[in-house]
Chain A
């Protein structure tokens, strides 16, 4: 993984402190702390993990172990409009792979990457529970159902301006 060092601002570090405090600095709350941090910062770079580890009195390795175990946590920044393609079984049998291929082609990025302009990122998830609408694509909070490869352009256009 390319590791671009980032410098956390003072107010950002304070925000992490605040989050850890709201969970009473309990190590058992690590996952909830990480959820909050990711919600706040969009992703969990090593620098944030270090602050969390120090605050909760855990080793950095332990925090890193948890971050990398769960697919919900990401160590790279998401795009302004994160695109998630459902590759759950219902969506798979109704052609999610072709939809995914079309997104890759249009955006010229792979799963787990962010487009050069920082606008879109691509990820897969397993079932959002809207299987009746398979194949399903999420862009940010918005759900698109029954997506066909030739509908991909129109979806992207909605967020282009």
Chain B
């Protein structure tokens, strides 16, 4: 990167590209060209910076200026003011909402202060489509070190000592998994990267693949060396076209440089990587289902054991790891297991990437040491709740997880603490909810998801979840009875105990944890027929305010079922027995006379 004195880094993640960041890159290049600066200032399209809320983002290095919500037409100002005259474009700088202060250097942003970036170390710094940039940041050094200076046993020992655990959800110790895969005897073995990322509302694996694909390829090769495999497969969702394209570019560049293929670093070690595509099925994130899907079958899970490390893809020993797990590997080998295990809590080492979304000010991608509290994540890094509303809960672990509330805010986050409190780490999705969210509806939303995604192979999951959903739907529609709450709980526990795979074993979690933490809301729905968040339409009643009604008859004419009566210039009345709560009257009334309670 040395020939240039300044770099303009433009985010090229899916979110920022949706807001025209390609056009920003084009315009910056044109402006620089016009000013004869193309040789001294370089424009780089990077992976995600994480601060998606305020995208598209342009960062200037070396001075760390952080421009937010940049539009293509701002390119001229950035070049003329910042690049040429050295004056920051103030109106594009990030303003800290709490202190109401313009932030000049991104290091001082509350969003970045508490973060430690290991898995995301290169995201937002390098152009993911240029291998030299990865190499300039110690890329493929770890693979070189492993192949030339270490035995496979030594590498495995190092990974074990680091305490790294799988980031795909279950938290299984990675070193141990590699050791088991190594011990399986076979003529052929496979390394599989699980890039299915099925949790809706989570996007960390995608961001790593888009922003730093080589870190995953390098780690897969290291894994291949350790377990004795010469083939790697990345199973990636077809919904991630940009990540697929970046992976393809990265694989072909690595082959060109001899970092994949035959006789890598002249050591006689062969390793190559292919892509396999998912086709939109959540259950395919489960490793046995994933393997069946790669073989071209329906993605239905099978009982374990045998574990994939014994019998996996095409019946051969297969080591499956998550994208983020792999992204940690090269750094561990370079900086050592002692350094890695100094970060985090007693049983959960290192960092975790979370995708913060929902009713939070700073939606984005963050990486924090294990043991960081929810309060730090939500209020310091996340900047608190949107529109000054009140925090209600945070859902971690997606459809398999549970919700945590106010009383859990000071809980240090790690694998154990989340499970102990009725939730789980999952892949790292964190959806923040505020007082306008109805917890019964949220549970129903997740159950709707599970019912749709259940593969149908085992009956507890196929039938049980459907019944759970129906019960929740009944409650939301105002038809719930007291017994339904016990039924929800009992059925939920049975499904957990008897389902075939992790999908069913965890799908009742959102119901059980909202029952545990928000029983009041359930009883309000069932006994008082009230939804305090105002989300359950069927529990609302429409009425007309006497003081506001002028008798214009607009509402009566709009009502599709004739529930509204009243003479011209007289007060109108809604008959609740006929009203279907469609909201047509509310839309039509010009005098704010229709109210919903």
Q: Which residues of A contact B (CB under 8 A)?
A: 26-32, 34-35, 65-66, 69-73, 87-94, 125-134, 136, 143-145
A93 to chain B, nearest CB (A): 5
User: Given the complex of chains A and B, what is the CA–CA distance between A127 and B239 in angstroms?
Assistant: 9
- A34–B279 CB distance below 8 A: yes
- A89–B238 CB distance below 8 A: no
The residue on A at minimum CB distance from B53 is: A132
Residues in B191-249 with C-beta less than 8 Å from chain A = 197-203, 206-207, 238-240
11 residue pairs bridging A and B, Cβ less than 8 Å apart: A26-B296, A31-B277, A66-B298, A89-B446, A129-B14, A129-B240, A130-B18, A130-B52, A131-B357, A133-B19, A143-B17
The residue on A at minimum CB distance from B445 is: A92
User: Given the complex of chains A and B, what is the CA–CA distance between A30 and B299 in angstroms?
Assistant: 13
The residue on B at minimum CB distance from A124 is: B452
The residue on B at minimum CB distance from A84 is: B239
B514 to chain A, nearest CB (A): 14
User: Given the complex of chains A and B, what is the CA–CA distance between A65 and B299 in angstroms?
Assistant: 10
Interface string of B16-46 (1 = CB under 8 A from A): 0111000000000000000000000000000
Interface assignment of B364: CB less than 8 Å from any CB of chain A: yes
Interface assignment of B412: CB less than 8 Å from any CB of chain A: no
Given contacts A93-B433, A125-B239, A143-B14, 15 further A-B contacts (CB under 8 A): A31-B279, A66-B296, A71-B279, A88-B200, A89-B431, A89-B445, A129-B197, A130-B15, A131-B201, A131-B203, A131-B355, A132-B357, A143-B17, A143-B18, A145-B15
Q: For residue A128, which residues in chain B have a CB less than 8 angstroms away from its CB?
A: 14, 239
What number of B residues sit within 8 Å (CB to CB) of A? Answer: 52
Q: For residue B282, which residues in chain A have a CB less than 8 angstroms away from its CB?
A: 126
With contacts A66-B298, A127-B202, A131-B203 taken as known, whether A89 is within 8 angstroms of B14 at the C-beta atoms is no
A46 to chain B, nearest CB (A): 18
With contacts A70-B280, A72-B279, A89-B357 taken as known, whether A31 is within 8 angstroms of B431 at the C-beta atoms is no
User: Given the complex of chains A and B, what is the CA–CA distance between A136 and B294 in angstroms?
Assistant: 30
Q: For residue A29, which residues in chain B have a CB less than 8 angstroms away from its CB?
A: 296
- B239–A90 CB distance below 8 A: no
User: Given the complex of chains A and B, what is the CA–CA distance between A57 and B258 in angstroms?
Assistant: 37
Q: For residue A34, which residues in chain B have a CB less than 8 angstroms away from its CB?
A: 279
The residue on A at minimum CB distance from B282 is: A126
Q: For residue A130, which residues in chain B have a CB less than 8 angstroms away from its CB?
A: 14-15, 18, 52, 203
With contacts A32-B277, A94-B358 taken as known, whether A89 is within 8 angstroms of B296 at the C-beta atoms is no
Interface assignment of B480: CB less than 8 Å from any CB of chain A: no
Interface string of B291-303 (1 = CB under 8 A from A): 0011111110000
Residues in B266-289 with C-beta less than 8 Å from chain A = 276-282
Listed from nearest, the 6 A-B pairs whose CB atoms lie closest are: A132-B52, A88-B200, A89-B201, A70-B279, A143-B18, A90-B357
- B363–A134 CB distance below 8 A: yes
Interface assignment of B321: CB less than 8 Å from any CB of chain A: no
A104 to chain B, nearest CB (A): 14
Q: For residue B281, which residues in chain A have a CB less than 8 angstroms away from its CB?
A: 69-71
Q: For residue B15, which residues in chain A have a CB less than 8 angstroms away from its CB?
A: 129-133, 145
Interface assignment of B518: CB less than 8 Å from any CB of chain A: no
User: Given the complex of chains A and B, what is the CA–CA distance between A31 and B291 in angstroms?
Assistant: 13
User: Given the complex of chains A and B, what is the CA–CA distance between A50 and B201 in angstroms?
Assistant: 37
Q: For residue A35, which residues in chain B have a CB less than 8 angstroms away from its CB?
A: 238, 277, 279
Interface assignment of B398: CB less than 8 Å from any CB of chain A: yes
Q: For residue B55, which residues in chain A have a CB less than 8 angstroms away from its CB?
A: 132-133
Q: For residue B429, which residues in chain A have a CB less than 8 angstroms away from its CB?
A: 89
User: Given the complex of chains A and B, what is the CA–CA distance between A62 and B398 in angstroms?
Assistant: 31
Q: For residue A125, which residues in chain B have a CB less than 8 angstroms away from its CB?
A: 239, 280
User: Given the complex of chains A and B, what is the CA–CA distance between A45 and B232 in angstroms?
Assistant: 33
User: Given the complex of chains A and B, what is the CA–CA distance between A35 and B293 in angstroms?
Assistant: 13
User: Given the complex of chains A and B, what is the CA–CA distance between A91 and B469 in angstroms?
Assistant: 20
- A66–B449 CB distance below 8 A: no
Q: For residue B295, which residues in chain A have a CB less than 8 angstroms away from its CB?
A: 28
With contacts A35-B238, A126-B200 taken as known, whether A90 is within 8 angstroms of B280 at the C-beta atoms is no
Q: For residue B355, which residues in chain A have a CB less than 8 angstroms away from its CB?
A: 131
- A93–B240 CB distance below 8 A: no
- B279–A126 CB distance below 8 A: no
The residue on B at minimum CB distance from A70 is: B279
- A72–B240 CB distance below 8 A: no
User: Given the complex of chains A and B, what is the CA–CA distance between A132 and B316 in angstroms?
Assistant: 41
The residue on B at minimum CB distance from A23 is: B296
Q: From B199, B278, B279, B437, name the one whose CB has the most chain A CB atoms within 10 angstroms.
A: B279
Interface assignment of B162: CB less than 8 Å from any CB of chain A: no
Query: Which one of B198, B276, B294, B297 lies within 8 Å of A66 (CB-CB)?
Result: B297
Q: For residue A32, which residues in chain B have a CB less than 8 angstroms away from its CB?
A: 276-277
A52 to chain B, nearest CB (A): 11
Interface assignment of B395: CB less than 8 Å from any CB of chain A: yes
Residues in B168-202 with C-beta less than 8 Å from chain A = 197-202
